[in-house]
RNA sequence: GGCUGAGUGGCAGAGUGGCUAUGCAGCGGAUUGCAAAUUCGUUUCACGUCGGUUCAAAUCCGGCCUCAGCCUCCA
């Protein structure tokens, strides 16, 4: 039985979909004004893995990951760059698609953009005004009145009276309560705006997710995800908006993933301590990054360092080494102990580190069987590939992984040197053979002699 | 100040009231012409600290210490 930790109840709960066999999943995606960093990669990879696993269980999943393409930072960045907002957002949406594709992430079923949902946003705001959850300020903004929503704070466990409003940001006197937030911002000069019943303006930060999620998945849906930092206020506000407008419960299960850290500090744009996905891809393959992300449980912090990525690379090398030379044709093993352990690990709130440990046990088993029982080794090897695939791993040719990112020498040169060395070995000229091997090693190529001949891989 | 969460062997990172996590790195054996890969082994308590419950706790309960996050934009 699949159990998921629900931020709303602060405990693991058996997962029961609203409609049998179907799951609606919404994840807060990017605000597109810059390149994806490793923190973004984590959310994307984690929920990609969640979706793959849910589908492997037989659920029909509708996966929505939105794009926020209008907000203060976008407007500011476009202005700084001297480019149009549309140009900026399109550029970074394309970059994001390149990055996610590189990381082996499946496309969501829909990728709605905030600017395409202005009519739906206006409808929700109107309903909130009608239902008494919103008011218009003297500046012409429309604000949400948090005190009118009884359950405000239920997701983040906060009580209005405990929050230190005004501690770090000056209180806006035009609001009825300091924590009231803007639904609709009155237009300022030189800013994009849409017309509305309350005059020209643009949506506030939180409202677009209420509009897009309920439009794509219905007023009440199964799972909503995102980074921990969105729990408050973003997701809290989404609940207030959506439930205030529809009068129905909004989301059953809230999932929040932990941060990527660098030296025990959160990786974030505001701290400036981030690495972009494309930067890291220059040094490590996408699958190494993906593996690295999955080595810790999604709710735990993930410490980023070169040493950890290097370790991830070595670990993946081990798995691919096991798969090397195994035919992919044979039927994989199915309902054995490894499978059961894998499923029970993933059923336990998507415990990917545990699931990976089982892949290594399986890998060891395959290695042991390779010589004695090649057929069984092949079947287990294919099971390893299949289970890895549920986490988006082990889907490329072992040789492609092991020989990838070749820099110094061409494949032909390497093959040529191997042939020469083979000749030296057959005439027992060990000095010559070792010299060639050392020469290759200096270029980052490792040789491995087997009964079937010599193979090579990149260090 | 309020609210979350966390403290496990050299590093990373799971987990269960009593029995080997796993990976990387190191060391030793097998294997190899030598390597690499693979495999086997790796000594005494690895489980923040102080108490409590228990025949038994790193695992349950309580206090304390330390760290991170949220209460502003952030994945």
Q: Give the tens place of pLDDT for each residue, A57-86.
A: 999 999 999 999 999 999 999 999 999 999
- Identify nearest nucleotide to residue A44 by CA to C1′ distance: B75
Q: What Cα–Cα distance (Å) separates residue A202 from each residue in A114, A241, A246?
A: 10, 16, 22
pLDDT given for residue A183 in this prediction: 95
Report residue A113 as tokens.
């953009």
pLDDT given for residue A186 in this prediction: 92
Q: How many helices (H) and strands (E) does chain A have?
A: 15, 15
- In angstroms, the CA of A447 and the C1' of B47 are apart by 40
Judge whether A454 and A421 are in contact, CB under 8 Å.
yes
Name the residue among A92, A107, A38 with its Cα closest to residue A301: A38
Asked if strand B contacts A302 at the CB level, meaning under 7 A, the answer is yes
Asked if strand B contacts A100 at the CB level, meaning under 7 A, the answer is no
Given the structure tokens 């009155």, which residue do they identify?
Answer: A186
Q: In chain A, which stretches have pLDDT less than 70? A: 163-171
Report residue A368 as tokens.
């042991």
- Which stretches within A131-235 are classed as H helix? 207-217
Buried b (16+ CB within 10 A) or exposed e, A301-337: ebbbeeeebeebbebbbebbbbbbbbeeebebbeeee
pLDDT given for residue A457 in this prediction: 93
- Identify nearest nucleotide to residue A434 by CA to C1′ distance: B34
pLDDT given for residue A298 in this prediction: 94
| DSSP codes, A337-370 | HHHHHHHHHHHBT--HHHHHHHHHHHHHHHHHHH
Q: Residues A264, A74, A68, A100: is their CA dihedral positive or negative? A: negative
Alpha carbon distance A185, A170 (integer Å): 18
CA A180 to mean position of chain CA atoms: 30
**Edge-to-edge, what's the strand order for the sheet holding A260-262?**
A265-266, A260-262, A302-303
pLDDT given for residue A168 in this prediction: 55
- Dihedral pair phi/psi, residue A140, rounded to 5°: 95, 5
For strand B, which residues in window 408-437 of chain A come within 7 Å by CB? Answer: 425, 430, 433-434, 437
- In angstroms, the CA of A357 and the C1' of B22 are apart by 4
Judge whether A87 and A273 are in contact, CB under 8 Å.
no
Nucleotides in chain B near protein beta carbons (<7 Å): 1-6, 11-15, 21-25, 32-40, 67-75
For strand B, which residues in window 313-342 of chain A come within 7 Å by CB? Answer: 314-315, 318, 321-322
Average predicted confidence (pLDDT) for chain A: 91
A407 by Cβ neighbours in 10 Å (0-12 / 13-18 / 19+) ranks as exposed
């Amino acid at each position: 039985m699949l159990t998921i930790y629900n931020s709303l109840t602060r405990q693991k709960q058996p997962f029961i979909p609203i409609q049998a066999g179907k799951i609606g999943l919404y994840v807060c995606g990017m605000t597109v004004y810059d390149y994806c960093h490793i923190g973004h990669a984590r959310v994307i990879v984690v929920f990609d893995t969640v979706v793959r696993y849910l589908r492997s269980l037989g659920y029909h999943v509708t996966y929505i990951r939105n794009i926020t393409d209008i907000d203060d930072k976008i407007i500011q960045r476009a202005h700084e760059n001297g480019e149009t907002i549309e140009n900026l957002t399109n550029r970074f949406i394309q970059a994001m698609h390149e990055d996610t594709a590189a990381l082996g992430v499946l496309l969501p079923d829909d990728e709605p953009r905030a600017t395409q949902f202005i009519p739906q946003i206006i409808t929700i705001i109107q309903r909130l005004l009608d239902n008494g959850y919103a008011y218009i300020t003297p500046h012409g903004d429309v604000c949400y009145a948090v005190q009118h929503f009884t359950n405000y704070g239920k997701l983040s466990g906060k009580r209005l009276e405990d929050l230190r409003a005004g501690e770090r940001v000056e209180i806006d006197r035009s609001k009825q309560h300091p924590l009231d937030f803007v639904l609709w911002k009155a237009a300022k000069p030189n800013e994009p705006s849409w017309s509305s019943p309350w005059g020209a303006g643009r949506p506030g930060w939180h409202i677009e997710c209420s509009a897009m999620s309920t439009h794509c998945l219905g007023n009440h849906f199964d799972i909503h995800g995102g980074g921990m930092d969105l729990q408050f206020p973003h997701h809290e506000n989404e609940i207030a908006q959506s439930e205030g407008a529809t009068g129905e419960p909004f989301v059953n299960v809230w999932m929040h993933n932990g941060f990527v850290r660098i030296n025990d500090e959160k990786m974030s744009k505001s701290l400036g301590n981030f690495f972009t996905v494309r930067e890291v891809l220059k040094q490590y393959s996408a699958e190494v990054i993906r593996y690295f992300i999955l080595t810790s449980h999604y709710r735990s912090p993930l410490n980023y360092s070169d040493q950890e990525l290097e370790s991830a690379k070595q670990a993946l090398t081990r798995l691919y080494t096991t798969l090397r030379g195994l035919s992919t044709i044979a039927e994989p093993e199915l309902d054995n102990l490894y499978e059961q352990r894998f499923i029970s690990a993933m059923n336990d709130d998507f415990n990917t580190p545990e699931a990976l440990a089982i892949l290594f046990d399986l890998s060891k088993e395959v290695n042991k069987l390779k010589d004695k029982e090649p057929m069984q080794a092949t079947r287990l090897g294919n099971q390893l590939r299949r289970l890895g695939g549920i986490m988006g791993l082990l889907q490329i040719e072992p040789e492609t992984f092991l020989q990838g990112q070749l820099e110094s020498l061409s494949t032909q040169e390497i093959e040529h040197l191997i042939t020469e060395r083979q000749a030296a070995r057959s005439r027992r000229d060990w000095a010559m053979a070792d010299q060639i091997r050392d020469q290759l090693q200096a270029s980052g190529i490792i040789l491995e002699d087997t009964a079937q001949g010599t193979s090579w891989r990149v260090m």
